[in-house]
Amino acid sequence: MGAGAIGLYVGGMLAEAGAQVVFAARGRTRDSVARGLSLSRYDGFKAALKPERYEVGGVDSLGNCDVVLFCTKSGDTEAAALDLARALEADATVISLQNGVGNVEMLKRLLPHNQVVAGTVPFNVVRLSPNAVHCSMEGPVLVGPSDASARLAALAAGSRLKLQTHDNLDAMQWGKLLLNLNNGLNVISGLPLRRQFEDPGYRKVLAMAMEELLAALDATGIRVIGATRTSPRLIPKVLRLPTWLFRIVARQQLRMDETARSSSWDDLKAGREPETRFLNGAVCSLAEAHGRSAPVNELICRLVAEAFAAKASPEMPGNELLALARKAVV
């Protein structure tokens, strides 16, 4: 459900391995995917799937599916779930692979007759065209435990897609949100992710935004688990290292090619609504609810909103953004 970059990549990789996959799409995407699907990865893997390898249609085409991977933008969750509720069988399991927090709770409310499971995708996928996607960095799809998750993991075991089950996806979703705080910064910088991480100004602003989230989580007693091998508490410290040392310490995390961009950058280029209110905005809401503030995340929200209003990245230098962030904190 949702044939964006993540939906097409995860579904495409499963279809490439022989799984029966149905894409619910519309408009230009539906027409394009109906003609074929191109997959590529950072490691040189490429596949061109003919339309006979999968099905593509509207939401009704998901009616006979036993597992639905819910991959829409967070802002589309409610409308998409209401559409899905009219088509889905009661014994189908819905697995959310969305950014942000709160989507699983909304899906459980809107799909009361279906099992809803949390999931997360802690790696980057770039949409090259309506029917071509490129995975630009390493990482596994992570899903919570369920019978459907076990079946999905068994399907993925015969594919090139890494998929693992994890017992505490709620805590891990906060760890994924920690990483997603960079999405808005990627809009502001206008740079590929790898080049952005070479900029110490941008790294320090990201560290400040992350520390606001960690402080808010501490105030609420919410546990956070890293969506990568690095502890969430260590990530801001690593980001503040000198660039030469950062390259060494974060070598694994920097295994991405030059095409890597955030999903928020893709939204900007496609003229879609930003997800920032579900990312940095979620930090602001959590902090405010517990008598705290999150001025750096508020700044990022404002600058991203201005970029989307202008339909272009401000391409702000990292040192200039850092100066604004420090001023906002004072």
Output the pLDDT for position 254. 64
Is residue 112 located within the same domain as residue 209?
Answer: no
Whole-angstrom distance, CA of residue 47 vs CA of residue 118:
28
Could you tell me the CA-to-CA distances from 322 to 138, 186, 207, 308, 327 in Å, in that order? Answer: 29, 14, 11, 21, 9
Whole-angstrom distance, CA of residue 289 vs CA of residue 72:
27
Is residue 113 located within the same domain as residue 203?
Answer: no
- Helices (H), ranges, the chain: 5-16, 27-33, 77-85, 103-110, 147-157, 169-180, 182-189, 193-197, 200-220, 235-239, 243-249, 263-270, 280-289, 295-310, 318-329
Give me the domain span that covers residue 73. 5-167
Output the pLDDT for position 253. 65
Q: What angle do CA 13, 15, 18 make, to 5 degrees?
A: 115
pLDDT 10s digits, 125-168: 988 899 999 998 888 899 999 999 998 998 888 788 889 898 88
Whole-angstrom distance, CA of residue 215 vs CA of residue 207:
12
Output the pLDDT for position 97. 94
Could you tell me the CA-to-CA distances from 265 to 74, 140, 261 in Å, in that order? Answer: 15, 22, 6
Is residue 101 located within the same domain as residue 235?
Answer: no
**Residue in this structure with the two tokens 């065209």, named with its chain if needed:** 129
Q: Are 140 and 162 in contact (CB under 8 A)?
A: yes
Domain boundary among 135, 167, 199: 167
Output the pLDDT for position 252. 66
Q: Are 97 and 6 in contact (CB under 8 A)?
A: yes
- Taking 70 as the pLDDT cut, the residues of the chain under it are 227, 229, 252-256
Domain boundary among 167, 195, 218: 167
